[in-house]
């Protein structure tokens, strides 16, 4: 009888040991390595399985039965590094997860303010952020694109300060028409035609529309290339589109103040080589005239019938008198003048050192339902040509009130004064 009881007890202990070996319960707490706070909703999976697991509760605690033969647990959570922990003799496993910054899918703003993933676009586009724009200070924001966007060519005009810039995306599409892209500021297309007027000797460049925008108010610039990129803008965007997004307030407590001051100096680096001994003309004469003799004692005279044309190889500028109008009315004397010697660096000394000083102060703030930003800008610039100056003042106000969950407004007011 005793032997039977001993055998039954041995079998019972063996079965109990097998049951314990088959199902093992692991408990613990998962916390954040950044501040030690518990992490709710952490995924815990038995390594090697796809359906045996659990998640942590609001206090970061968990309890999981591990089947026989599995020796590790996998912990994963959004924004943290995943960990695989091997099981030990202890039934309590506490885990600390470290934060990990993952690169999310890049989002860009396309036509009419529509947001799309970059990988979902069927056309080429490139964007310049505010940090990239800050590295290149220019009066005209079109010049920010110089050597920064593939396939975009920016040409500055020779009008100097305040002049317009010519932007071509993927080359010219027309021999005689307009090849510049369409500019869209905060979803509103603007006219970027240069303010020029016909003068006696040609056009006068008074700048373009984009040049009136304060560069410090620009948040980002996106270039949409080709007709497919600008389909929603029709024929106006056939040469490509430049999307400009201006800065706005932030939804935070308090008021933010932003102050920017920039100073740049311009100086000509290379000068062409000029001869400064001969005046206008050819072979010591005017194009249509010839050297003539003046009676002895009167000095050396040279005929220059037309001083507006010809190469610069006319009479020598050695201080002698030169006839301007050899054909005169009877009883009148021909007009003459003296060609004085010119300094060696007369062209170089004509140009000055240019300077540009831009100052901007911006005040921004907001609440949970609205934002606002007000900026004041002042620009003073002196060109490399004497008496060439530019002064410009800008005021920009942008307000974004959220009326309801389905209705919001984006209002902007800009004041620009330049002279």
What pLDDT, on the 0 to 100 scale, is given for residue 296? 41
- Among the three residues 246, 276, 304, which one is the final residue of a domain in this structure? 246
136 with 233, same domain? Answer: yes
CB atoms within 10 A of CB 261: 11
62 with 131, same domain? Answer: no
Residue 8 lies in a domain: yes
Residue 181 lies in a domain: yes
How big is the CA angle at 24 (ends 22 and 26), to the nearest 5 degrees? 160
Question: In terms of Cα–Cα distance, which of 269, 365, 281 is closest to 316?
Answer: 281
pLDDT per residue over 62-89, tens digit each?
Answer: 999 888 888 899 999 888 888 999 888 8
Residue 319 lies in a domain: no
- Among the three residues 73, 97, 121, which one is the final residue of a domain in this structure? 97
28 with 141, same domain? Answer: no
64 with 118, same domain? Answer: no
Task: Report the Cα–Cα distance between both ends of the chain, in Å, rounded.
Answer: 118
72 with 121, same domain? Answer: no
Residue 328 lies in a domain: no
242 with 121, same domain? Answer: yes
What pLDDT, on the 0 to 100 scale, is given for residue 328? 55
Question: In terms of Cα–Cα distance, which of 337, 334, 342 is closest to 322?
Answer: 337
- Beta-bridge mates of residue 318: none
Question: In terms of Cα–Cα distance, which of 117, 157, 119, 112 is closest to 139?
Answer: 157
DSSP assigned state of 11: H
What pLDDT, on the 0 to 100 scale, is given for residue 333? 66
CB atoms within 10 A of CB 44: 23
Query: Tokens 């800009």 belong to which residue?
Result: 414
Q: Are 74 and 47 in contact (CB under 8 A)?
A: yes
154 with 241, same domain? Answer: yes
Q: Is the dihedral of CA 275, 277, 283, 285 positive or negative?
A: positive
What pLDDT, on the 0 to 100 scale, is given for residue 281? 63
| Alpha carbon of residue 53 to chain centroid | 48
What pLDDT, on the 0 to 100 scale, is given for residue 165? 82
Backbone angles phi, psi at 147, to 5 degrees: 60, 25
What pLDDT, on the 0 to 100 scale, is given for residue 310? 46
Q: What is the largest CA-CA distance in the chain?
A: 164
The strand pair at 23-32 and 95-97 is best described as parallel
261 with 223, same domain? Answer: no
Q: Which domain, by its residues, includes 188?
A: 107-246
DSSP assigned state of 120: G
181 with 62, same domain? Answer: no
**Which bin fits 240, alpha (ψ -120 to 50), beta or left (φ > 0)?**
left
193 with 143, same domain? Answer: yes
Residue 322 lies in a domain: no
What pLDDT, on the 0 to 100 scale, is given for residue 380? 92
- Among the three residues 40, 73, 97, which one is the final residue of a domain in this structure? 97
What pLDDT, on the 0 to 100 scale, is given for residue 19? 46
Residue 68 lies in a domain: yes
What pLDDT, on the 0 to 100 scale, is given for residue 44? 92
d(CA 228, CA 238): 9
What pLDDT, on the 0 to 100 scale, is given for residue 375? 94
Residue 295 lies in a domain: no
Domain total of the chain: 3
112 with 242, same domain? Answer: yes
Q: What is the CATH number of the domain that holds 237?
A: 2.170.130.10
Q: In the chain, which stretches have pLDDT less than 50?
A: 12, 16, 18-21, 103-104, 119-120, 122, 197-198, 286-310
74 with 192, same domain? Answer: no
Residue 363 lies in a domain: yes
d(CA 144, CA 191): 19
Q: What is the CATH number of the domain that holds 74?
A: 2.60.40.10
Q: Are 40 and 31 in contact (CB under 8 A)?
A: no
Query: Tokens 């072979």 belong to which residue?
Result: 283
How big is the CA angle at 269 (ends 268 and 271), to the nearest 5 degrees? 85
Model's pTM, two decimal places?
0.58
Report CA dihedral (206, 212, 216, 222) to the nearest 10 degrees.
-100
d(CA 115, CA 370): 21
Question: In terms of Cα–Cα distance, which of 115, 229, 124 is closest to 182?
Answer: 229
What pLDDT, on the 0 to 100 scale, is given for residue 28? 93
């Amino acid at each position: 009888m005793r032997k039977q009881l001993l055998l039954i007890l041995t079998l019972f202990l063996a079965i109990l040991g097998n049951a314990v070996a088959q199902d093992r319960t692991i408990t613990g707490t998962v916390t954040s390595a950044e501040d030690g706070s518990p992490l709710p909703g952490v995924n815990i999976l038995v390594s090697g399985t796809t359906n045996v697991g659990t998640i942590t509760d609001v206090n970061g605690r968990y309890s999981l039965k591990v089947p026989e033969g599995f020796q590790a647990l996998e912990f994963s959570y959004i924004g943290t590094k995943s960990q695989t922990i091997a099981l030990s003799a202890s039934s309590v496993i506490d885990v600390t997860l470290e934060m990990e910054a993952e690169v999310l899918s890049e989002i860009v703003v396309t036509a009419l303010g529509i947001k799309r993933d970059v990988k979902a676009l069927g056309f080429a586009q490139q964007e310049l952020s505010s940090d990239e724009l800050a590295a290149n200070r220019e009066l005209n924001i079109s010049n920010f694109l110089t050597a920064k966007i593939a396939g975009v060519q920016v040409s500055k005009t020779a009008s100097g300060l305040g002049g317009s810039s010519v932007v071509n995306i993927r080359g010219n599409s027309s021999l005689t028409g307009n090849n510049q892209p369409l500019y869209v500021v905060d979803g509103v297309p603007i006219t970027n035609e240069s303010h020029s007027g016909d003068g006696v000797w040609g056009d006068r460049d008074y700048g373009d529309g984009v040049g009136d925008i304060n560069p410090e108010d620009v948040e980002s610039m996106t270039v949409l290339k080709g007709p497919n990129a600008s389909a929603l803008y029709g024929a106006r965007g056939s040469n490509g589109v430049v999307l400009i997004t201006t800065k706005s307030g932030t939804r935070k407590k308090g008021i933010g103040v932003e102050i920017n001051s920039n100073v740049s100096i311009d100086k000509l680096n290379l000068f062409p080589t000029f001869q400064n001994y001969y005046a206008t003309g050819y072979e010591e004469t005017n194009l249509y005239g010839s050297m003539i003799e003046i009676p002895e004692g009167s000095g050396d005279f040279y005929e220059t019938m037309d001083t507006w044309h010809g190469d610069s190889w006319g009479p020598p500028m050695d201080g002698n008198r030169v006839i301007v109008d050899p054909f005169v009315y009877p009883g009148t004397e021909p007009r003459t003048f003296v060609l004085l010697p010119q300094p060696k660096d007369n062209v170089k000394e004509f140009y000055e050192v240019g300077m540009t000083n831009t100052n901007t102060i911006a005040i921004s703030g907001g609440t949970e339902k609205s934002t606002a930003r007000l900026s004041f800008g002042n620009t003073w610039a002196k060109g490399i040509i004497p008496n060439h100056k530019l002064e410009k003042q800008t005021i920009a106000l942008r307000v974004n009130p959220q009326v309801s969950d389905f209705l919001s407004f984006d209002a902007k007011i800009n004041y620009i004064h330049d002279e």
